[in-house]
Structure 1
Amino acid sequence: MDGKSSFRLSIPDRQSMSRSIAYLTIIIVLCFLLYDYCWGPGYPTSPLDQHYAYKGEKITWKACGDIAGRKLECSRIDVPMDHFNLSKSGGFNLPVVRLRGDDGSKNLWVSPGGPGVSGVAFLHNRGEKLATIIGSRFHLITFDARGINGSRPQALCYPSTQVRKSLSIPEFQPIEYSPEVYAWTKNFVQGCRDTMSEHGLYINTPQTAADMNTVLDALGQHEMFFWGISYATALGQTYATIFPERSHRIVVDGVVSNFRWYEDPFSDSGSLQDAERVLYGFFEECMKAGNDCPLSVLADTAEELQDKVLSFAGKLKEPVSIYINRSQWGLLRSEDLIYTALFGALYSPATWWSVADRLNKLLQGNATEAFLAWGSKGPYADWLVDEALYFIANNDNPSGPDHWPQDRHEFLDLVRPLLNESLFSPAMHLSSYKRQQWLIPKTHDFRQKMNVKTAHPLLVLSTTWDPVTPFSTTGSVLAAFEGSQILELEGYGHTTFAMPSRCVAKHVRAFLYDGTLVEKHTKCKVDGPYFMRPDQDVPRFIDSDDEAIYRAQLQIARDGF
């Protein structure tokens, strides 16, 4: 040491200075890009950010699209094999999808019917219209329930698509082809049990209800906001019974009686009690519409028109060959006309103009459009139901040898009366063979309770004339849940999605947003005519929100929910 200070001011060289500035620039840019992820609403602000999370949530999302300016995000979540016995190993992995509303919104669970319909496909296909009807004050969320579509494992009765094609049989008439269907079903139910092994035991509605809590917990939300349609009304009621303290807003639309669903081997009996009334409504409204209904030119009265169409369907007991070109040809059968065309039309009166147009052409000798629409279509063709339907229904309903005679003749003695309930009964009751012979034992003891007190009363929706979930069933919900109230859409069709009604939409919004329950048995009118050409301009409304709701409802009614 020379006694002088050893401190020196070090000035970096030009290369070091450039490197420092570059590092600082990178840090500033990264902080800017990651600001929303770390401190903001949480969505990715760069294509490089493939996964992200939100404050207060324990679930990681991935951007998977955009619907009408709203972000669509996807994830997957693990759920236990058995929520009610956590010592069971294994489980399911379920796809979850969410369409975002305003930042800070609650999550509203939307669930389609079936059972077995894909919630993920439902939100992808109907999310924009649902968001318009409900408004932006909710995120819309759903999943593919255990066993369904993207669930892993998926509920299957065949090891591969190729095997399914080689071993499946057409859905024959349950009486005429009883020996064949009965014998084939023995192998089918064995295949279901062997293919799914232990997982098959736990594909049922109570487990799905508990799965919904796993998702809600991951979202950091205690309160359940839920709109369930058709079969999903059974899911909603099951949830509200098991978890009443979390049931803050439960909407059930097109009601299944949970008392019958879980306890009656013939739970389908009576479900078609209003189907013929809806069918007659089709012909009656056609005649009222006059020139706006293409079929009206063929008769003078609704009775005459109905007789003419059903007589023609009867003649198709001998199938008609239809040849369009070398890649489009086949048969048009009586079953196609009755079960696909007419029965399908009962669900969605908004499609009645198109159905009438095809029927008019068919009865006058032009079968091309009828064949293309109905000749090769099956129920839920676009919704990926597959075998999940049978697992869920048969694991919930009383099924198998403990509840059904296994002798084929004794079985037919029980089923024949059901098949005479309605023109459409064979389409509804063919699955009874699978219920009779189902080999998977029930693993839950759920029964619907009476007078359940939920965090907030339920809102019960129904049309006056529903072909498969009759209005009379709404009484079962009132008996099950204290304070529940009914909102009736005065019209035809399955659920209030069958026809537009701004009145229904506004009551549902008030219930979901503010908990405003309708007064005892409130009624709403259908907006617009039953027979309207698909290319016809929709009515104009003074209020733009009214018009948007109407257009969204009309599109869902035409496309199906």
Structure 2
Amino acid sequence: MPTPLTLRRCALAVLAALGLAACTPSPLHQSSAPTSAAGSSASEGVDPALAPFYEQQLEWSACGSQQCAEATVPLDWSQPAGDTITVALRRVPASSGEPVGSLLVNPGGPGRSAIDFLPSFQVLVSAEVRAAYDLVAFDPRGVQASSPVTCVEPADLDALTAWVPDFSTPEGVDEAIARSAEYGEACLDRTGPLLGHVDTASAARDMDVLRAALGDDALTYLGYSYGTDLGATYAALFPERVGRLVLDGAMDPTLDSGEVAAGQAAGFEEALRAYVEDCQAAAGCPLDGDVDAGMAQIGDLFDRTRANPMRTSTDRELTVALAFSGVATPLYAQEAWPVLTQALTAALEAGDGTPLLQLADQYYGREPDGTYTTNQNEAFTAILCLDERAPSAFADMQAEAAEIAAVAPTVGQFFSYGGASCADWPVPEVGALDSYAAPGAAPILVIGTTGDPATPYAWAESLAGMLSSGVLLTFEGEGHTAYGRSNSCVKDAVDGYLLTGTAPADGTRC
């Protein structure tokens, strides 16, 4: 049986499934101009052993109204003469017909498919940017269309997302570790050696090959959530190749897993409190009393579904793991809060877990027929287990869980004991980089949202501070990420940066 996944993934694609998708900043920093021309220096200065990858010519073919291609990269970047894998790309040509370069995009995760999300990117990105750039989506290695990680059958994924492990005893933790190890072995059996090479640093090196193959001397990039980790890693590895990087919903790549868990738990706790307050101010809210009372009612719902899973209109029950996923999903965007109210009304007043189950399924990419639209769940675990191994001793995780519960009494339980997931992962840890300062890089725009549940605002402050050329743009609002879903202030600041290379003043607030 597989192990449960912790909620550490960007949900932009979920917001698209839900049908969602004012200040004046002053200029300060100037970035290098993007270029894309035949005969450019896009592959200049690379290791001769890597030249065949950097100098490859992409062969584009029609994919409906879009264009598709594949790039070849080394399976193992330390052995460029060894086996290779492919990275899938999909492009929407600049509407002007005269692109200044390519804008690579990533929706986060790890594990989200940028290729599948490309139609939503076309809405998020402004018309002016679409006119200037070829919009290029790519699935990082191990994700969906790019030599994907494969682990188990859909029925096993159903068990994975619904499973409620017992972390209250050492024996329960040992069982969770054992089941996680069994899941990892299934991933290794089906994926092969690739499973040991889907780390973030390898994906960032792939991005530099894509930049060169697209003919750009410098990388222009828009990354959301985990995509900011990918972008920051690229900048650290290739600071001289940084063009215009927008990192929205920023992560702090220097945090350990416990710090990430505590930050996200506190973020979702605060987002849930903000939702409860908003709900109780409107008619038809199923939560009685004040905010504390409303939070207690949601906590009671979790307790009840932990003891007795709730019925749904399907042959699947709503376990507490699925209930939390259903509650958390609409917290990614304030526009989705009414959907949460409807789901909580059904659960609290009618004992019907169907709407919460549907929200959880949208989060995990599960279709009503039981199939999954992407491999995001497998890729998520595979990438995170390569990037870091959290402490897995019972006493360590128990102490961490107490600290998390102190800052997130309602939802902290769902962010604890994460070390069990990767404790016996079958391939060695790769780890993070030693530094993310990226000295010499052109200005990098980092965006943080003050009420972001998934990537707390403090992480954006930290990332902007650690980058030698980081510029912080703040959106004062609720929800995950800002560009394309917030206000004209953020839009104008990002558009100005992408179109002219001029970043807003560091510390601009919208």
User: TM-score, with normalisation over the residues of structure 2?
Assistant: 0.78
Alignment match of 1:173 (pick from 133, 146, 165): 165
In structure 2, the CA distance between the partners of 1:145 and 1:311, relative to structure 1 (3 Å rule), is same
Tell me whether 1:319 sits opposite 2:308 in the alignment.
yes
SS in 1 for 2:350: coil
SS in 2 for 1:316: helix
SS in 1 for 2:375: coil
For residue 35 of structure 2, what is the aligned residue in structure 1? none
Amino acid paired to 1:305: G
Query: What RMSD, in angstroms, separates the aligned Cα atoms of the two structures?
Result: 3.1
Alignment match of 1:283 (pick from 276, 286, 303): 276
Q: How do 1:177-326 and structure 2 match up within 5 A?
A: 177-260=172-255, 267-288=260-281, 290-291=282-283, 294-295=284-285, 299=288, 301-319=290-308, 322=311, 324=313
For residue 452 of structure 2, what is the aligned residue in structure 1? 466
Q: How do 1:74-89 and structure 2 match up within 5 A?
A: 74-87=68-81, 89=82
Q: How do 1:146-545 and structure 2 match up within 5 A?
A: 146-152=141-147, 154-158=148-152, 161=153, 164=156, 170-176=162-168, 177-260=172-255, 267-288=260-281, 290-291=282-283, 294-295=284-285, 299=288, 301-319=290-308, 322=311, 324=313, 328-337=314-323, 339-365=324-350, 367=352, 370=355, 373-374=358-359, 379-381=364-366, 382-397=373-388, 399=389, 404=391, 409-410=394-395, 412-413=397-398, 415-417=400-402, 420=405, 421-422=407-408, 423-429=410-416, 431-443=418-430, 446-450=433-437, 452-454=439-441, 456-496=442-482, 499-524=485-510
Q: Contact 2:107–2:223 (CA<8 Å) still a contact in 1?
A: yes
Tell me whether 1:108 sits opposite 2:107 in the alignment.
no
SS in 1 for 2:206: helix
Cα distance in 2 for residues equivalent to 1:319 and 1:266: 32
In structure 2, the CA distance between the partners of 1:335 and 1:200, relative to structure 1 (3 Å rule), is closer
Cα distance in 2 for residues equivalent to 1:273 and 1:521: 24
Q: CA deviation at 1:209?
A: 0.9
Q: Contact 2:177–2:423 (CA<8 Å) still a contact in 1?
A: no
In structure 2, the CA distance between the partners of 1:477 and 1:284, relative to structure 1 (3 Å rule), is same
Amino acid paired to 1:340: S
Tell me whether 1:93 sits opposite 2:78 in the alignment.
no
Q: CA deviation at 1:181?
A: 1.5
Cα distance in 2 for residues equivalent to 1:277 and 1:163: 34
Cα distance in 2 for residues equivalent to 1:230 and 1:166: 25
**Gaps spanning 5+ residues in structure 1: where?**
1-55, 67-71, 525-561
Q: CA deviation at 1:316?
A: 3.4
Query: Share of identical aligned residues, percent?
Result: 22
Amino acid paired to 1:485: V
Higher relative contact order (CA 8 A, sep 6+): 2
For residue 59 of structure 1, what is the aligned residue in structure 2? 58
Q: Contact 1:109–1:140 (CA<8 Å) still a contact in 2?
A: yes
**Gaps spanning 5+ residues in structure 2: where?**
1-54, 367-372
168-177 vs 271-280, which deviates more? 168-177
Question: Residue by residue, what CA displacement relative to the aligned partner does 1:341-382 show, whole Å, maximum 9, x if unpaired?
Answer: 322222121101121133234433262753553475653545
Question: Residue by residue, what CA displacement relative to the aligned partner does 1:270-329 show, whole Å, maximum 9, x if unpaired?
Answer: 3322322211111222344x34xx31x7545434433344334433344365364xxx34
In structure 2, the CA distance between the partners of 1:169 and 1:449, relative to structure 1 (3 Å rule), is closer
SS in 2 for 1:82: coil
In structure 2, the CA distance between the partners of 1:371 and 1:208, relative to structure 1 (3 Å rule), is closer
Q: CA deviation at 1:334?
A: 3.9
Amino acid paired to 1:61: W
Kindly tell me the number of residue pairs found equivalent between the two proteins: 444
SS in 1 for 2:131: coil
Q: Contact 2:401–2:413 (CA<8 Å) still a contact in 1?
A: no
SS in 2 for 1:258: coil
Q: CA deviation at 1:428?
A: 3.4
Amino acid paired to 1:438: W
In structure 2, the CA distance between the partners of 1:380 and 1:467, relative to structure 1 (3 Å rule), is farther
Q: Contact 1:349–1:498 (CA<8 Å) still a contact in 2?
A: no
Alignment match of 1:117 (pick from 100, 106, 112): 112
Q: CA deviation at 1:196?
A: 3.6
In structure 2, the CA distance between the partners of 1:375 and 1:387, relative to structure 1 (3 Å rule), is closer
